[in-house]
Amino acid sequence: MLELQLHSAATGDLELFLNGAYAPDDQFTVEYPGACQPGDEILLRDANNVRLAIFRVSRTSGTLARGTVTPIETPRHADFRALRQTPAQVRKLLESAGGGETLALATMDFLSLADEQAIESHRGTSVIHIIEPGPVDHVARVRAAQRSIELGLDASRIILNLLPYAPSERARLHAALTNYGATRIVEPSPGPCRPEVEAIRSQVIPPRHRQGFCVWFTGLPSAGKSTIAEHLAVRLRERGRTISMLDGDVVRMHLSKGLGFSREDRDTNIRRIGFVASEITRHHGAVICAAVSPYQASRDDARRMVGEDRFFLIYVSTPPAVCEERDVKGFYAKARSGQLTGMTGVDDPYEAPTNAHLVLPTSGTTPEESAERVLALLAGAGFVDPSG
C-alpha cells in the first residue's frame, strides 16, 4: 500500500471532509507527489505519523488524486476540544435553541468592533462564530472572542467553534458554513477591536520593532562573518533586543556534532540552523546566524523556514586571497597542501548568493562599519526601534 504524510492544512481539510462539512461531496482530493493510478490505495498519516484514513484513488490529474476515504482515526486536537464540534453537533445545538435564522461569521483575525456590531444588529438570531486557522495564533483569538462575548455579546445565542482548516475558496467555505447550520453569512470587517481584545492582540502581535527576525551571514571561511555578527549583536543589544547567536563553528560542536562535510551533511547542517532560527523568530526572538552556508538551495530552504519577510541574507564578500591571509586556524594552508579535502573555496564550491539583501565587501571596511550597514537595513525594515 502507498503512504502519504499530510501536512497540517491537508490534515485539517481531511477532517472537514470526514465530519460532513463538505457534504454532499463524497470524493476527497489529495496531492500525491509519486505515481498513482485509479484503484490504488494510499494510507494517509498526519504530521505525527498517526494513521488517519485509507484513500482509494478514483482518478488522477497531474499530482492531484481524487477518491474515496475510509476513516481510521479522527485527527487529534489537544486544545479547545469543546469548540471543535462537527456540523451535525452544531446543528443539534441550534435546533435545541429553537432553530430559525442563523448568522455565521468566520474570521482569521480578531473580532473587530464592526464584527461585534454586525452580530448585535441581528438580535434574536443564533450566531455561529467560526474561528478559522490563520496567520495569527488561534489560541489568542479564541481567548479574545471569549472575552468579547463575556463583555458585550449575548452568550446565550452565540456558538463559538473552531475550523481545523480554512478553505481558500470562499464558495467552499460558505458551503461548509451552511452545513454547520448557517442561513446567513456575514463577511468579517477589519478594523479596531475593543480595548480588552487589543490588549490580547498586542501580546501575540507586538510592534514591528519587537517582532522576530533572522540575520544570516554567508561567505567564505575566514571572510569575517562572525566578527561582524558580534558587532551587530552588540549594537542590537544596545537597542534593547535580546539576541541569539548561531555561529557555524559552535553549531558544528553541538547541534550538528557527527556531521561531515559532504554536500548532504552540509545541507543538513544549514537546514538545522534554519529550523532553530525559525523557532526563535516565530516566538519574536532576534537571531544572528554566521555560517559559510555555501549552497544556494540550502540557504533558500532556511529563508523559507524563517519567512521571507523576516529573513535577511548578508553576503560577506571577502576575496579568497584575503580570507587566506586572515585564516588563523590554518585550514586554507592544509587544503592547499592536500592535508584537508572538501574545503569550501579551495576544492569545494562556494555559490555566491544572487538574492542577498546586502553585500559587504570587507576590504577597506571595518567590522563596525559593516555592522552599522546591517543595522540600517534592519531599521529600514522596521525591526529596530527608531527611538533607540
| Active-site annotation, residues | 293
With cell 529563508, the residue in question is 303
Backbone angles phi, psi at 140, to 5 degrees: -65, -35
Backbone angles phi, psi at 65, to 5 degrees: -125, 140
End-to-end CA distance of the chain: give it in Å, rounded: 60
Query: What cell was used for 371?
Result: 555592522
Spatial separation of the C-alpha atoms in residues 131 and 142, rounded to whole Å: 7
Quick check: helix, strand or coil at residue 258? coil
Burial tier of 274 (Cβ tally within 10 Å: 0-12, 13-18, 19+): buried
What residues does 126 pair with on adjacent strands?
102
Q: Which of 206, 201, 380, 211 is nearest to 310 (CA)?
A: 211
Q: Which of 105, 99, 8, 101 is nearest to 50 (CA)?
A: 8
Please, are residues 102 and 126 in contact by the beta-carbon 8 Å criterion? yes
DSSP summary character for residue 169: S
Q: What share of the chain is helix, strand, coil (3-state, %, to 5)?
A: 40, 20, 40
